[in-house]
Amino acid sequence: MDLVYGLVTGVLFGLLMQKSEVLRYDRQIGALRLKDMTIVKFMLTAVIVAMAGIYALYDLNLVKLSIKGASLGGQILGGLIFGAGWGLLGYCPGTSAGALGEGRWDAAWGILGMLLGAAVFAEMYTSLKNTVLAWGDLGKLTLPGVLGLGNWVAIAGIWVLALVLFWWFEQKRL
C-alpha cells in the first residue's frame, strides 16, 4: 500500500510541477541567475501551506515530525557542493525525473551522473561519517527551538517573511 501511496503522490506532484513549469532548466537556472523566481514562488508557497497543515495535524496528534539532524559540516559543505552541481545540471534530483517525463532528455545524463555520485558517496561514507559529518553535529533542532519561540509564533513569522518576499518579487517582476 505504501508503494501505491508513493506512486499516486508522485504523479500528482509531477503534474503540479509540470503545469507550473518548475521542471524546466530555464526556470531553475533563471532562479540561480536571480532573474526568474518561479521555482522559489512554487517552493515557498508549498512550504508555508504544508507547514501550517503539518503543525496543525501535529498539535492534534495525528502525525509525527521527521526532523533531520543538523550537522553543519554536512549541510554547509554538502549544500555548497550540491548547489554547484545543481548550477551545472540545472535540475535537482526530483525535477530531473520530471524533466525527463516532459521530454527534456538532457536530464537523463544528469540522472546517470547522480547514480554515479550516489555510488561514490557510498564508497566514501565510512570515512566521511567520522569527519565532515561529525563537524558541528547539533542534533534535531527546529527554528522555534533555537529562537525560543512557540511553534505558531515562528510559523506566523515565516508566513509574513514569505509574503513580503512574494510582494517584492511581483514588484520587481522576477
Partner 1 sequence: MGPKYPKSKAWSPYAAGALAGLLLALSVLVAGSYFGASTTFVRSAGLIEQVVSPGHVDSLEYFAKEVPKIDWQFMFVIGIFLGSLVSSLSSGTFRVQAVPDAWRERFGANPATRAVVAFCGGVIAMFGARLAGGCPSGHGLSGLAQMALSGYVALICFFIGGVFVARILYRGR
CB of 164 to partner 1, least distance (A): 14
In the complex, minimum distance from the CB of residue 107 to partner 1, in angstroms, rounded to a whole number:
7
Q: What is the nearest approach in angstroms of partner 1 to the Cβ of residue 160? A: 14
Whose cell is 546517470? That residue is: 112
Q: Which three cell numbers stand for residue 21?
A: 513549469
Site for partner 1 in 127-166 (CB under 8 A): 128-129, 132-133, 138, 140-146, 151, 154-155, 158, 166
Burial 59-80 (b: 16+ CB within 10 A, else e): eeeeeeeeeeeebeebbeeeee
Q: Measured from the CB atom, is 7 or 164 closer to partner 1?
A: 7
Residues 92-111 that bind partner 1 (CB under 8 A): 92-107, 109-111
Please, what's the largest Cα pairwise distance for the chain?
Answer: 49
Residue 84 interacting with partner 1 (CB under 8 A): yes
Question: Least distance in Å: CB of 148 to partner 1?
Answer: 13
Q: How far apart are CA 93 and CA 145, in angstroms?
A: 30
Question: Where in 48-77 is the site for partner 1 (CB under 8 A)?
Answer: 48-51, 53-54, 57, 62-72, 74-77
Residue type, 72: L
# residues near partner 1 by CB under 8 A:
130
Interior CA angle at 143 toward 141 and 146, to 5°?
70
Closest by Cα among 65, 45, 46 to 55: 65
Selected from 59, 115, 135, 160, the binder of partner 1 by CB under 8 A is 115
